Structure 1
Amino acid sequence: MFILAKGSAPFLHPSRNARSQNHWPVVTRALEAPWYLLVYDVSCSRGHRVSQTSLVGSDDALVELVSAINRADLRGVGRLDRQHGLGPSWNLRWIEALWTPALGEAREVGSLLLRFEAEPLVRDALLRPVGEVAGRRLVYEGDGFGEGAR
């Protein structure tokens, strides 16, 4: 079951959805766009904690969710990119750090900057390397989750 974040567009044709519906059994999205995996702990009955994974379909929604989750509960953030070749194929890379861009650079680089594990380059959402700019806000910094998860 998929749950839409605030501000997300409906994934199915409106004729197929009730006005108040915010859960869908199927999500359709262009294959070329990246998906993000957000792994975090949640508390459930009797104080038990379980790991939960959310599939996030936009840069803005990812920043919003990461900012809203307690840092101690975040376990990892990954990016799924479509790979070209024979048959469907996806590449998952764990993200080491996420920033929102400085005011002056947002128009050029978009709403998200990231650095993958074991890579020194900071990249925009289109994976183009970007230089250092003062005024960026660190939203997430990993703790090696991805290394142990592979």
Structure 2
Amino acid sequence: MFVTHLHLEQKVPAGLAPPLFKFWRGVSLSLETSWYLCVTARNDGGTETFLVAWEVELLEFIAAAGANLSVRSIARIDKSRVQPGRWEMRWIDALWTPSPAEQAEAWQVVMRFEGAPELHDEHLNTVGQSDARQLVFSESLTN
């Protein structure tokens, strides 16, 4: 989640932004866990970038993208395991919903990172192949 700070609010003149939208020059994170950076393409040729917390929200975001917005790329951002105080970002090549057996083990997603052959669950454990998974995002299908 993001925490906003009043002194960082960007005042936007009426008519330049959708009603009820607020803009911030900076925010802080209250949830220091994995985040997903989703780059989307709009029908008008523009792009938008979203930060999504939690895998279940990521799956809902992809499903809700619909006809007016398509997910072009996804990156996972994690706190560094090696360098305290730093974050690491890796691009995701493909994302699946787990098989029913994997869901019983509380898995929410299976992903493959760019340039890596192995698959991972949301806890970054290496997992094997399964034909029972459903592909929900593939970088190669969006470009």
Instruction: Note whether the superposition's TM-score is higher than 0.5.
Output: yes
* Structure with greater strand percent: 2
Residues 1:73 and 1:123: Cα distance change in structure 2 (over 3 Å): same
Counterpart in the other structure of 1:122: 119
Consecutive unaligned residues of structure 1, counting only runs of 5 or more, are 1-9, 13-20, 146-150
State the AA in 2 paired with 1:127: L
Aligned residues: 123
CA distance in 2, matches of 1:126, 1:24: 32
Counterpart in the other structure of 2:47: 51
Tell which deviates more after alignment, 81-90 or 101-110.
81-90
Counterpart in the other structure of 2:16: none
Counterpart in the other structure of 2:38: 38
- Superposed CA RMSD in Å reads 2.9
CA distance in 1, matches of 2:54, 2:23: 17
**Pick from 63, 67, 92: which aligns with 2:63?**
67
TM-score when scaled to structure 1? 0.69
Residues 1:49 and 1:112: Cα distance change in structure 2 (over 3 Å): same
CA apart distance, 1:52: 0.4
Contact conserved, 1:59 with 1:112, CA < 8 A, in 2?
Answer: yes
CA apart distance, 1:78: 0.3
Percent of matched pairs sharing the same residue: 30
TM-score when scaled to structure 2? 0.72
Counterpart in the other structure of 1:3: none
Contact conserved, 1:109 with 1:124, CA < 8 A, in 2?
Answer: no
State the AA in 2 paired with 1:137: Q
CA distance in 1, matches of 2:128, 2:62: 23
State the AA in 2 paired with 1:114: M
Counterpart in the other structure of 1:79: 76
